[in-house]
Amino acid sequence: MIDKDKIIRYYKATEEDILAARLIEIAESVEKNKKYKASFFLSPSEFQIAEVICNASEDLSVVAYGGFENAERNKAVFVHRDFKYQIVMDFVALEINWDKRYYSIAHKDLLGAILAICKREFVGDIVLVETGAQVVVEEKMAEFLLQNLTKVGAAEVSIKKIAVEDLQVKEQKTKVITATVANLRLDAVAAAGYSTSRTQMNEGIKLQQVKLNHKPAKGAAQEVKVGDTISYRGRGRVEVVEIKGITKKGRISIVLHRIL
């Protein structure tokens, strides 16, 4: 039995209590019907809430489904331990195309056009591909998007359904960075990862452009550790892979992976 009140109280401090309550409702329905049920699309930090809820129940497990390999936004599928059958997902894959000779459309442009039509929770990952873009959406919103997404900015676009199996694997480029830092503060490590100054990184943190483990950074002085993920709006993410030790000059040697 999930201690609903305890979990909601815990997330009230971060103003995520409403989301937690919605996810608990889904989990409780699975405890009763002993089958499975999927949430709406969640960011990585939101998915962590689903994992906390799952850990509070002896009968449930939670699986991430986002359509793409290495998807960032996933549905949390709560599954009862007695359910032994196949899980059928209720999302649809769409492909968006435009004349690339005349228009250059970025991820943020596509996201803005889609969110003008439907809520963020109905939309999974958007991936730019050679022919245009692919996106995963809730089944109930697919037809609405097919009928209403006709332009992105000044560019006319065409949109069609494709098989989920035809979604292309998200390409990830990784740059290995070996650096030394004065300390393990977020501003110092992030500055090394993004090849920028600590002053500029501090400004990004103040403007809430920087996240630590998928949540807005609380401050420049937050200490990072191995396994942490830092993201800087529009500049990819940095993973802390190794803290090697102290150099002869008293600095800390670290290894980072920057995902582009």
- Do 254 and 188 lie in one domain? The reply is yes
Question: How many structural domains are present in the chain?
Answer: 3
- Do 96 and 160 lie in one domain? The reply is yes
Q: Using CA atoms, how far apart are residues 46 and 135, in angstroms rounded to an integer?
A: 20
Q: In the prediction, which pLDDT does 70 show?
A: 82
| Structure tokens, 21 | 């309550």
- Do 252 and 185 lie in one domain? The reply is yes
- Do 124 and 197 lie in one domain? The reply is no
Instruction: Read off the CATH number of the domain in which 212 is found.
Output: 3.10.290.10
Confidence of residue 215 (pLDDT cuts 50, 70, 90): confident
- Do 52 and 13 lie in one domain? The reply is yes
Q: Using CA atoms, how far apart are residues 53 and 50, in angstroms rounded to an integer?
A: 5
* Residue where a domain terminates, one of 57, 80, 103: 80
Residue 193 lies in a domain: yes
Classify residue 27 by burial, with Cβ atoms within 10 Å: 0-12, 13-18, 19+.
buried
> What is the Rg, in whole angstroms, of the alpha carbon atoms belonging to the chain?
21
Residue 250 lies in a domain: yes
Q: Using CA atoms, how far apart are residues 13 and 235, in angstroms rounded to an integer?
A: 29
Element housing 64 (H / E): strand 60-65
Nearest to 170 by CA among 133, 222, 123: 133
pLDDT in tens, 172-203: 778 999 999 999 999 999 999 999 999 999 99
- Cα-Cα-Cα-Cα dihedral of 134, 97, 100, 111, to 10°? -50
- Do 69 and 98 lie in one domain? The reply is no
* Residue where a domain terminates, one of 102, 135, 166: 166
Q: Using CA atoms, how far apart are residues 195 and 213, in angstroms rounded to an integer?
A: 20
Residue 85 lies in a domain: no
Q: Using CA atoms, how far apart are residues 142 and 199, in angstroms rounded to an integer?
A: 44
Residue 86 lies in a domain: no
Percent above pLDDT 70 for the chain: 100
pLDDT at 171 over 90: no
Question: Residue with structure tokens 């699309």?
Answer: 41
Residue 24 lies in a domain: yes
Q: Using CA atoms, how far apart are residues 244 and 123, in angstroms rounded to an integer?
A: 40
* Beta bridge pairs of residue 37: 78
- Do 149 and 76 lie in one domain? The reply is no
Q: Using CA atoms, how far apart are residues 199 and 218, in angstroms rounded to an integer?
A: 16
- Do 229 and 178 lie in one domain? The reply is yes
Reported pTM: 0.79
- Do 255 and 184 lie in one domain? The reply is yes
Q: Which domain holds residue 54?
A: 4-80
Q: Count CA within 13 A, CB hemisphere, residue 47.
A: 21
Q: In the prediction, which pLDDT does 138 show?
A: 95
* Residue where a domain terminates, one of 134, 166, 198: 166
